[in-house]
A and B are shown apart, each in its own frame.
Chain A
Amino acid sequence: MRPFTTILKYELFSLFISSSTYIASFYFLTLLGIGFKFFLESFSYTDWILPPLSSLVVGLFFGAPALVPFLTMRSFAEERKLGTLETLLTTPIDSGILVIGKWSACFIFFSIICILSFIYPLILIYLHPEQGFNLGFSSPHYWVGCSLFLLLYGGSFTAIGIFSSIMTKNQMVAGMLSFTLITLYISLMSISSKSNINNGNLDGNYQLLEQSLAPLTNGFEKLEQFSVGFIDVATIFHQIIFIMFFLVLSTIQLNRLNK
């Protein structure tokens, strides 16, 4: 436990003293705030059926490919480039603990950004309580569902980012790889099985493929469920497995690096 907390503290410290992290976070939160404002102003004219809080989730979700690389690209890539990863590996610390420690730091920072983004609806509740109530910002189950969704997918995205960082010595390449993989993942999630339900003539192979990819697809259906407070336990398990998959891959790659 001790090596894990040591790595976690060190990585959090590195993130907090990094100017690029602050610039990316500030830029991201500003854009999110502006987007949230425009969304609320035009909410009555839209066909948005979900609670307005989910708009923040959507903003964070689709902004993650831009934000997460800034958090994760330095983790291993910079250490490999500087050579400090070698000195780290000469200590009696397990490579798996090292990966989990660095991932945890990035995940915690991402969670902090998510929490900071929730300041916008909280400000609305404080300044205009009635309006906030009408928009559903006072309903705790919406908050729980949205937060859990963000935490789950934030964990997945940061795990992808850590894996990307370990694959190269170049921070920019790590950032681009992370951006690409997260975008691909979101694209995969946008595949929906709803449109095929009504089509009775489905090829058997296609059905099999769809069933096997089910944990990765139907992302927006899952967002709908979580944002109204419906917690899908299967999704939680799928995402935990997804996170573990990329962390295990990262550990394997770390062990292969110098061998």
Chain B
Amino acid sequence: MKSDNKPMAIVEVLNLKKNFGNTKALKGISFSIGKGEIVGFLGPNGAGKSTTLRILSGLINADSGEAKVCGIDLAAEEGLVKHHIGYLPENNPLPEDLRVIEYLNFRSRLKGLQGSRLKERTKIVLEICDLERKVSERKIGNLSKGFRQRVGIADALLAEPRLVILDEPTIGLDPHQSAITRKMMERLKGDVTFLISSHLLSEVEACCDRMVILSHGQIVAEGTLHDLQKSFIDKTIFEIVTKGDKIEVQKQIREIDNTCELLLDDLVEITGKRRFSFSTLNGEKSAERIIQHLFSSKELKVSEFQIARPDLETIFLRATKQNWEKKALSKYK
């Protein structure tokens, strides 16, 4: 019963494999993406991100495995799938001689739009990507990198796709332009599913609901940031700023949790207080109990505290390092 009521995934990939000659680009990856999600695709160079995106956008065929977009099998109905996908390739190649509006009209016609629907959709994507007024009449060759990227995204959104695949959408953009791109995705979230490949972990962390981390053609991690933090960072780190000395603080902490280790002992200038950083194996709840206990201590006079949540970069490095180590180990076996 539950499986009947389960909403259809927009992307379903099962044991996908792809070789380029002797190089195994994908070694059997499986994942799915639900409707309206923004999923980040991460990995070092050569991990297989672009290969996966190119398979999903119908540019190349997988050697084996299954890939479905909107419930349609890519291998069997590639032409049909392309009606549901918008794709922004890496480096966003565009014809230099056309004006923005000419290019979007050309692409609209190729995607099957015509008449009033074409005009309507063109107007909408110009508005979403902030390309109205003078910019739409300019030649693409005369636009800056940021505007060209917006033209590429506008093209991807033209035919109201259900899945938009963006390969490095914010590379080379300044923070303001990156923020605009993020806002655009936030605006469309829920109606459109996004699959974003990026090296900019801060961008992915800021806008993605879930992440899939690839390394050497395999998925090494998948989930929300919180899930990944729990999976890869086995210690919880917390910081306190207090007037108390190191020995007293350690003693108080060990009364609650004897797995705690002191990581950092630093002087906070001007105030004369000290900043301590501890790790515990017992998770955030233990850290919260410790902090509550320290706050209740009048001698220590804790003025600041925080539970440090590891960022995506830390998780990424940990996840890919584990994969490299496994790979190196397997060579010696």
Give A residues with C-beta under 8 Å from B: 2-3, 6-7, 10, 14, 17, 82-84, 86-94, 258-259
The residue that A94 contacts in the complex, of B54, B79, B83, B93, with Cβ under 8 A, is: B79
The residue that B109 contacts in the complex, of A3, A14, A82, A94, with Cβ under 8 A, is: A3
The residue that B60 contacts in the complex, of A2, A87, A258, with Cβ under 8 A, is: A258
Which residue of the partner chain A has the closest CB to B58?
Answer: A90
Contacts of B21 on A, CB cut-off 8 Å? none
Contacts of B91 on A, CB cut-off 8 Å? 83
The residue that B59 contacts in the complex, of A6, A90, A92, with Cβ under 8 A, is: A90
Determine whether the beta carbon of A91 is less than 8 Å from that of B82.
Answer: yes
| With A14-B97, A91-B82, A92-B83 as contacts: A2 and B112 at CB distance below 8 Å | yes
| With A14-B97, A258-B59 as contacts: A91 and B89 at CB distance below 8 Å | no
Which residue of the partner chain A has the closest CB to B86?
Answer: A90
Taking residues whose C-beta sits less than 8 angstroms from the other chain, chain B's interface range is 20 to 34
Q: Let me know if B263 is at the binding interface, CB within 8 A.
A: no
Contacts of A17 on B, CB cut-off 8 Å? 97
Q: Mark B63-91, 1 if CB is under 8 A from A, else 0.
A: 00000000000000001101101010101
Contacts of A86 on B, CB cut-off 8 Å? 59, 89, 93
Contacts of A87 on B, CB cut-off 8 Å? 87, 89, 93, 155
| With A89-B59, A92-B82, A94-B79 as contacts: A82 and B110 at CB distance below 8 Å | no
Determine whether the beta carbon of B93 is less than 8 Å from that of A83.
Answer: yes
Min C-beta distance of B21 to chain A, whole Å = 13
| With A14-B97, A17-B97 as contacts: A92 and B106 at CB distance below 8 Å | no
Determine whether the beta carbon of A10 is less than 8 Å from that of B106.
Answer: yes
Q: Mark B89-105, 1 if CB is under 8 A from A, else 0.
A: 10101110100000000
Give B residues with C-beta under 8 Å from A: 54, 57-61, 79-80, 82-83, 85, 87, 89, 91, 93-95, 97, 106-107, 109-112, 114, 155
Determine whether the beta carbon of A2 is less than 8 Å from that of B89.
Answer: no
Which residue of the partner chain A has the closest CB to B79?
Answer: A92
Further pairs besides A2-B109, A82-B93: 14, Cβ < 8 Å: A3-B110, A6-B110, A10-B106, A83-B91, A84-B93, A86-B89, A86-B93, A87-B87, A87-B93, A88-B110, A90-B58, A90-B82, A92-B83, A258-B59
Contacts of A7 on B, CB cut-off 8 Å? 110
Which residue of the partner chain A has the closest CB to B78?
Answer: A92
Which residue of the partner chain A has the closest CB to B106?
Answer: A10
Q: Which residue among B57, B79, B110, B155 has the maximum number of chain A CB atoms within 10 Å of its CB?
A: B110
Give the CA-CA distance A90 to B80 in the complex, in Å.
11
Give the CA-CA distance A258 to B51 in the complex, in Å.
11
Contacts of A88 on B, CB cut-off 8 Å? 110
Q: Could you jot down 22 A-B contacts, CB within 8 Å?
A: A2-B112, A3-B109, A3-B110, A6-B109, A14-B97, A82-B93, A83-B89, A83-B91, A83-B93, A84-B93, A86-B59, A86-B89, A87-B89, A88-B110, A90-B58, A91-B82, A91-B107, A91-B111, A92-B83, A92-B111, A94-B79, A258-B60
Contacts of A2 on B, CB cut-off 8 Å? 109, 112, 114
| With A84-B94, A86-B59 as contacts: A6 and B89 at CB distance below 8 Å | no
Which residue of the partner chain A has the closest CB to B108?
Answer: A6
